[in-house]
Amino acid sequence: MQLVNPLRFHNLRGDLFGGLTAAIVALPLALAFGVSSGAGAIHGLYGAIFVGLLAALFGGTPSQISGPTGPMTVVMATVFSALIAKNPDVGLAMAFTVVMLGGLFQILFGLLRLGKYITLMPYTVISGFMSGIGVIIILIQIPPLLGYKSSSSVVGALRDLPQFLAHPNFAAVGIGILTLAIVFGAPAKLNRVLPSPLLALVVGTLIATYLLPNANLILIGDIPTGLPKLQLPVFRLDQIKDMLVYGLMLATLGSIDSLLTSLVADNITRTQHDSDRELIGQGIGNLISGLFGGLPGAGATMRTVVNVRAGGQTPLSGIIHGFLLLVIVLGAGKLTESIPQAILAGILIKVGIDIIDWSFLKRAHRISKKAAGIMYGVLFLTVFVDLITAVAVGVFVANLLTVQKLTDWQAGEIQATTIPNEDMRLSHEEKQLLLQAHGRILLFRLGGPMSFGAAKSISRRMTIVEKFDVLILDFSDVPILGVTASLAIETMIKDAIEQRREVFVVGASGDVQKRLRCLEIFENLPPRNRVTNRLEALQQALDLVNGYQSEVTQSKLKV
């Protein structure tokens, strides 16, 4: 795998417009995410620059634009508040060390080729935690919309909300409502030329500066210009576990966020991304971003879509987007200092509303009450506990329900009978052979993949029929045989042999045959008892049954 994406200039005009448009959209969002995280607006810009540049240069989705996102910012707000509260002197440096750890974890995910597994998560869980993050963003932006400092936690925002509502800063509320009106109501044609977040930023700032100079608005404040300073990693041994957990949380969320955006980019561009390479690129971007005091980032869906629609197709558009933001940081810091935080709050509330999965929220209860329960449970845990707990509980419960459904289906595919019936799908000749045995042949048919959930059903079905002379195990329709199911079958065969019953194994091939050989099940059976089709097994079994009956008859005559 080539480390750096080769730069191609066959789409220079499209990539230039795409990168420029994405940078215009990214600027107000980066400022807003920086303020919302608690680190400061400039750190949001640093994150947009480094993650945007390096993820494009090393990543696996050509048209993707990366930078700080709502989900990553929500986690970082928790990281900043927790580490700074415990370590006032070095908490900020420790938080950026967590960003570096998150980047290293993502690189490790890519090297281990885990990309294809990360998005193998139930949609109910993804919908729940994404909607939960949207709710968090909205709730923690209500205080700055009312003219107060933003809270780093939902509980803090809700606790102070009655006081803020009783004594709002009406100038901040007015600017915030104007911002919401612009970002929601800007005409589509105007939005294509001048993105609504940037329009709201410019209009709101001009009104605040010239019409409301004494309104006591909370502003972004001083933003340093020039290149960022190096932030060397800082660790506290007594908190290394917390830092690793936060780093893993960032890496997991950033990977899911990025790869979901990669899927969106694939659908628009009709291309195929390299998920493992994308993780490595995102990891490098986050590692360097943390090293220079930037927020963590991920693939940003809105910015990626804007880039593609403006003509961006190659990694060059992402690189151009990063360089344009770097130019702004180097020379335009003074222009952003007078931006009221109420404007950023309005922009972020729009982001939060867009993140919420309204489509699934409306329909979840009609699709499945269990699915709706998982989704709402994950949403609640995301908002009021934490993301890792929410995802872990959601995936665990969803998998339990899936296993239960699979077990029920597998139980229906297990048939044990001595008398043929319509459900067994036997040929006329096979039914006749089974009838001629007069209940002395037990045909045990399995169908579909047999996982550990099928083991109990296998054992239970064997206890139904007690009197038989020959056991036929039919694996003709079994592609996969799990370990637990294999052991249940091994017990069944051993019990039959101990009771001097003949056992035939039918149709075992491929992985099923390998599994049975590994358990040495075949060693207990003579070669003639391992057959390829059910008809042959029934014919041999009937011959054995008739032989038994003849022996019994002769014994009675002698007596």
Mean pLDDT of the chain: 88
Better-scored residue on pLDDT, 105 or 399 = 105
* pLDDT value for 555: 55
φ, ψ of residue 211 in degrees (nearest 5): -105, -25
Res. 155 pLDDT band, cuts 50 70 90:
confident
Range of weakest confidence among 6-10, 230-234, 318-322, 360-364:
6-10
Better-scored residue on pLDDT, 72 or 458 = 72
- pLDDT over 70 (residue 502): yes
- pLDDT over 90 (residue 139): yes
Range of weakest confidence among 51-55, 88-92, 486-490:
486-490
Better-scored residue on pLDDT, 208 or 449 = 208
Highest mean pLDDT among 116-125, 343-352, 420-429: 343-352
CATH 3.30.750.24 in the chain is located at: 413-558
Q: At what angle do helices 240-269 and 387-412 cross, to 10 degrees?
A: 60
| pLDDT tens string 20-30 | 989 988 999 99
DSSP string, 128-174: HHHHHHHHHHHHHHHHHHTTSPPPSSHHHHHHHHHHHHHS--HHHHH
| pLDDT tens string 367-377 | 888 989 999 99
* pLDDT value for 558: 54
Better-scored residue on pLDDT, 424 or 445 = 445
| pLDDT tens string 167-193 | 999 999 999 999 999 999 999 888 877
- pLDDT over 60 (residue 66): yes
CA distance 544 to 501: 10
Better-scored residue on pLDDT, 546 or 287 = 287
| pLDDT tens string 245-284 | 999 999 999 999 999 899 889 888 888 899 999 999 999 9
DSSP string, 445-494: EEES-B-GGGHHHHHHHHTT----SEEEEEEEE-S-B-HHHHHHHHHHHH
C-alpha of 27 from chain center: 27
Q: What is the three-state SS of 119-135? A: CCCCHHHHHHHHHHHHH
Domain spanning 413-558: which superfamily?
A: STAS domain (3.30.750.24)
